[in-house]
Structure 1
Amino acid sequence: MIDPDLDGQTVLVTGSARGVGRELLLATAERGARTAVHYNTSAGAAAEVADRAAERGATDTTVVQADVTDPESVDQLFETVESDLGSVDVLVNNVGAFAPVHWSEMEFETWQDIFATNVHATYLCSRRALPAMRENSYGRIVNVGYASSEKGLINPKNAPYFMAKAGVLMFTRMLAADTADDGITVNAISPYVVENSDEFPAALPRGRPAGFEDMAQAMFFFLDEDSDYISGENVEVDGGWLPEDV
C-alpha cells in the first residue's frame, strides 16, 4: 500500500462534499493533511465531511463554497483556503458534471455545463494554484479523467463528457511540461466505473467497479515523494477494462 506522509500539507479537493471527491479528501485526512472541503450547493454534506476529516486525522480543516467555473469565485475559494490553512500544496480537480443524454437531444446549457465543470474548472483552479506552488518550488496537481476518453470510446449518449475528459487529459500533459522545472507534478487518475455507481457492465474484467480505495491509491502514487519525477501521466483505474469488453 502506498502511504504518503501528508502531514502539514494543505490539500484542496474540488467537489469534496460527495462521492469520489469526498473519499479522496478523507483519504488525505488520514495521512495528516490540512483539508479544504469544497462544495457549490451541498453545504450540509460538506460540513459533515469536514467533521469526518477531523475525526480521521486531518491536522486542520475548512469548508469553502465556490462555483469553480467562475474565475472570481475561484479566486475567493483560494483566498479563503490560503487564509485558513495556508497555500495549497495538493490540488485535486475532481469536479465534473455528467449527463447521460444523446448529444442530439441535449440542451445547449447542459452541454456548456459539462465542459465548464470538467475543463474550465480544471483550468481555473490549476491556474490559481500555480503561483504559490512555483514560489514554494513544490506542488502536486491530480486531475480526475475518465478511462473511455483515453481509450477512444465515444458513446453518443455521453459524447460531451468523454470529449471534456479528453480535454482534461490533454491539459494535464501540457501543464506537466509547463511546470517541469518548478518542483510541480501534474497527473491524472481515470476511472471507468466507481463503486457509488448504481449500475455497471457485467463484462468488467475484475467483476466489480473500482473502489474508493483503488482511486485513493492511484492518487497517492502521484503524491508520494518518490514519484516526484513522474508528471504528465494518466493512471486508468479500470481493472483492465477495454471497450470491446462491454
Structure 2
Amino acid sequence: MITPNLDGRVALVTGSSKGVGRELLLSLADCGADVAVHYHSSKDVAEDVADTARTHDVEAITVNGDVTDPNEVDDLFGTIEAELGSVDVLVNNVGPFAPDHWEDISFDRWNAVLNGNINGTYLCSKRALPEMRASGFGRIVNIGYASAEKGLISPKNAPYFMAKASVLMFTRMLAADTQDDGVTVNAISPYVVENSDVFPDDLPRDRPAEFEDMAQALRFFVDDDSDYLSGVNVEVDGGWLPEKV
C-alpha cells in the first residue's frame, strides 16, 4: 500500500459524503491530511464522514455548496481556508450522469451533467490554484471515465461520456499550464466501481474496481515523490477493452 505523508496538508474532495468520494477522502485522512467533506444536500451523512475522518487524528469539517456556482465555490473554499488553511490536495469527484438514451434526456438534465462534470472541475481548480501556486505545492486529481480519451461514446449516457472526455482534456491542459508551479494535475478513470448501480456480465478480472483500487491511484498521485507526474490519466478498469458500451 502506498502511504504518502500528508501531515499538515489540507484536502478537499468534492462530493465526498458518499460513494467513491467518501472513500477517497477517508484515504487521504488516513495519510494524515486535514479534510473538508463536501456535500450539496446530504448534511447529516457528511457529518458522519467527518466524524469517521477524525478517528485518524486529523481535523475534519463539512462544507456545503454547488460546485457549478462560482459564488458558492468561492464561499466553500473561503470556509476551508478560514478553518483549516489553504487547499493543498483537490479531488474533483462530482460527476453527475444520465444513463438514458440521449433523445430521452431533458435539456435541463443534459446541461446538469455537462455542467457538474466540466464546470465543477474548472471552477474548483481555478479557485484552488492561486494558493497552490503561492505555496509551491499542489495536487489536483480529476475523476474521469475509462476510455473516455479514446472517444468512447454511446447513445445512452452520452453527455456523461462527452463531459468526461472534456475533463481529461482539461487535465492535460492544466498540467502543462502549472508545470513551473509545484502543482501536478492528473486523472483517475474507473470503469465499473463496487458501488455502481449496474454491473455488466463480463467484468474485467471478474469483479468491479474496489474503492481501494481507486485510493491506491490517488495516494500515488498525491505523494511528494510523484512531483514529475502530471497530465497522467490512470484507467482503473482491470484491463477493460470497450468493444461494447
Query: In which range does the TM-score fall when normalised by the shorter chain?
Result: over 0.9
Aligned length: 245
Q: CA offset at residue 150 of structure 1?
A: 2.5
Q: CA offset at residue 58 of structure 1?
A: 4.4
Q: CA offset at residue 143 of structure 1?
A: 0.2
Q: CA offset at residue 151 of structure 1?
A: 3.2
C-alpha distance in 1, partners of 2:172/2:237? 20
Who is 2:26 aligned against?
26
Task: Report if aligned partners of 1:119, 1:165 keep a CA contact under 8 Å in 2.
Answer: yes
C-alpha distance in 2, partners of 1:245/1:213? 26
Report the residue type matching 2:103 in the other structure: S
Q: Does 1:154 align with 2:149?
A: no
Who is 2:9 aligned against?
9
C-alpha distance in 2, partners of 1:23/1:185? 22
Gaps of 5+ in 2: none
Any idea what the Cα deviations from partners look like across 1:70-106, whole Å, max 9, x if unmatched? 0000000100000010000000000010111111111
Report the residue type matching 1:205 in the other structure: P
C-alpha distance in 2, partners of 1:132/1:18? 27
Q: CA offset at residue 2 of structure 1?
A: 1.1
Any idea what the Cα deviations from partners look like across 1:127-159, whole Å, max 9, x if unmatched? 000000000010000000000413322111111
Q: CA offset at residue 245 of structure 1?
A: 6.5
Q: CA offset at residue 23 of structure 1?
A: 0.4
Q: CA offset at residue 199 of structure 1?
A: 2.4
Who is 1:99 aligned against?
98
Who is 1:110 aligned against?
109
Task: Report if aligned partners of 2:147, 2:235 keep a CA contact under 8 Å in 1.
Answer: no
C-alpha distance in 2, partners of 1:186/1:58? 28
Change (3 A) 1:58 1:129: farther
Task: Report if aligned partners of 1:172, 1:186 keep a CA contact under 8 Å in 2.
Answer: yes
Change (3 A) 1:206 1:245: farther
Output aligned runs, 1:45-194, within 5 Å: 45-55=45-55, 57-194=56-193
Report the residue type matching 1:179 in the other structure: T
Report the residue type matching 1:221 in the other structure: F
C-alpha distance in 2, partners of 1:75/1:168? 21
C-alpha distance in 2, partners of 1:182/1:69? 26
Report the residue type matching 1:191 in the other structure: P
Task: Report if aligned partners of 1:33, 1:58 keep a CA contact under 8 Å in 2.
Answer: no
Any idea what the Cα deviations from partners look like across 1:149-182, whole Å, max 9, x if unmatched? 1332211111100000000000000000000000
Q: TM-score, normalised by structure 2?
A: 0.98
Task: Report if aligned partners of 1:148, 1:162 keep a CA contact under 8 Å in 2.
Answer: no
Task: Report if aligned partners of 1:91, 1:126 keep a CA contact under 8 Å in 2.
Answer: yes
C-alpha distance in 1, partners of 2:237/2:135? 34
Change (3 A) 1:6 1:101: same
C-alpha distance in 1, partners of 2:152/2:144? 14
Report the residue type matching 1:169 in the other structure: L
Report the residue type matching 1:44 in the other structure: D
Q: TM-score, normalised by structure 1?
A: 0.97
